[in-house]
Amino acid sequence: MGGRARTGGDDMHEMSIASAIAEQVLAVARQNHLLKVTQVRLLIGQLRLIVPEALLVAWDAVRGGSPAADARLEIIEVPAVARCKACRREYEPEWPVFLCPQCGQASVEIVSGEELILEEISGDQQELGTANPTSQSGLEQRPG
């Protein structure tokens, strides 16, 4: 993806999005007693109007000075799948065209491709001896 002129700063919506990510990452980090966040995994649907490079620039700007200051933003793209409202066929649209390969209509429900999900964060907990005795390394399920 590319081709958009970038000026940086808060005049692009990637900045609002990066700020929202930072807020949620830091809240989860606090809840889980993370001293440092090392990685943030994001799912972005193919149909979202977000330029990954611009988001990375914005992320760089918002994470500074926080426990996520060195956190790498990993972006995973979710493919677009549409369901034709006319014949119910599911297909991957050849963006920007949404024509159904079966019946030729462009009358869609989006099945996937519009996600913007903070999926997972990785980090280092408090040092041994001060850690919460119930916490262990590895996966911890959080309610969505």
Instruction: Return the C-alpha torsion angle 106, 108, 113, 118, nearest 10.
Output: 150
The answer to the question of residue 107 lying near other proteins (CB under 8 A) is yes
* Of 69 and 86, CB closest to other proteins: 86
Q: Do residues 89 and 119 lie in contact, with contact meaning Cβ atoms separated by under 8 Å?
A: no
The vertex-132 CA angle with 131 and 137, nearest 5°, equals 75
Q: Single out the segment in contact with other proteins by CB under 8 A; choices: 41-49, 58-66, 68-76.
A: 41-49
Strand 90-91 with 72-78, pairing: unpaired
- Shortest CB 95 distance to other proteins, Å: 7
What does the per-residue mask of binding to other proteins show for 66-105, with x meaning CB under 8 A? -------------------xx--------xxxxx-----x
Compute and round to an integer the Cα radius of gyration of the chain. 19
Residues lying near other proteins in the complex (CB under 8 A) are found at: 9-13, 16-17, 20-21, 23-24, 28, 32, 34, 42, 47-50, 85-86, 95-99, 105-108, 116-125, 135, 137-142, 144
